[in-house]
Amino acid sequence: MASTELIFFAKAFSRVLGWIYFLAWSLSFYPQPILNWRRRSTQGLAIDFPTCNVLGFICYTISTGAFLYSSTIRSQYAYRHPTSPEPTVRFNDFVFGVHCMIASIVVYSQFWTKIWGFRVSTRQRASSTVLGIFCGCLLAIFIVTCIVRIKGKDGGYDPSGWAWIDVIYAMSFAKIVVTVVKYIPQVYVNYKRKSTVGWSIWTILLDIIGGVLSLAQLIIDSSLQADWSGITGNPVKLMLANISIIFDIIFIVQHYVLYRNPYKRDEENATDGHADGIEEREYMLARSVLD
């Protein structure tokens, strides 16, 4: 009886963690567009970040939706993970993906002056490296889809060979790739500017909370199944949590330790409207390295 109650509370705690991390990660998408709106500018924010987010969360939404609602994907997952046939994807994962996809599109749209009227450099564009990775992810998904269609058994419905679940996994790994890539330009821009002005620290604080809780939920769910392959069976959730935590720590160090005083000085200048030219020159200096 005690064991049954423990399992019940563990499952309930897992769901609570899921919704808390959903809330934290979801709220993390609001400080940046609000900061852009307050400053009437996107300067200080690398456009690579929202560009990668748009693709990443489209892939994430499709993959989590497939694991939740596609009988084909769920049956193929069960075939490949017989000891833990139930995917560790939860409904809050899917809702989170939909919400963040919309939020990412909004932030990306703020770089269009015709829509928002914000100050945006005429040369503020995604780096060629990021665009190459962006297109490479789309190409990889397309290639895997073609392989499944051509070489898959029973049209990709037989999980013993190339199957539709491999397309979903390709989308999941595309999300992982763009998540790794999206942080790097922003870290470098902050480094070159010696400032975090224009980059909301609240986004990072909420993000690291979400990453820790997401990882905790995944561990609890796998332990309840008494099979740790539940973690490897959901690589995107595992990798996203760890990648987010690592980069969040870097941003926290930049904001509160490395560039604490320059941030305060530059914020005062930015408020007075005197830092626009400096911000733009520093931004283009950082971008020249990425290109």
Please tell me the predicted confidence (pLDDT) of residue 144: 96
State the Cα–Cα distance between residues 172 and 142, nearest whole angstrom.
14
pLDDT at 176 over 90: no
Backbone dihedral angles phi then psi of residue 110, each to the nearest 5 degrees: -70, -10
- Residue 267's H or E segment, with its range, is helix 260-272
Average pLDDT of every residue of the chain: 83
Q: End-to-end distance of the chain based on CA atoms, in angstroms?
A: 62
| Region of poorest pLDDT, from 26-35, 53-62, 224-233, 281-290 | 281-290
206 backbone dihedrals φ, ψ, rounded to 5°: -70, -35
Q: Which H/E stretch holds residue 275?
A: none
Can you say whether the dihedral through the CA atoms of 51, 53, 56, 59 is positive or negative? negative
pLDDT of residue 269: 46
What SS3 state is found at 123?
Answer: coil
What is the pLDDT confidence band of residue 135, given thresholds at 50, 70 and 90?
very high
Helix, strand or coil for residue 59?
helix
- The interaxial angle of helices 164-193 and 48-69, nearest 10 deg, is 150
Model-level pTM?
A: 0.77
- Beta carbons within 8 Å of 126's beta carbon, 6+ residues apart: 47, 48, 51, 134
Residue 261 has pLDDT above 90, yes or no: no
What is the C-alpha separation between 221 and 116, in angstroms, rounded?
Answer: 43
104, 57 contact by CB (below 8 A)? yes
Q: Tell whether the model's pLDDT for residue 230 goes beyond 60.
A: no
Q: Specify whether the CB–CB gap between 101 and 54 falls below 8 A.
A: yes
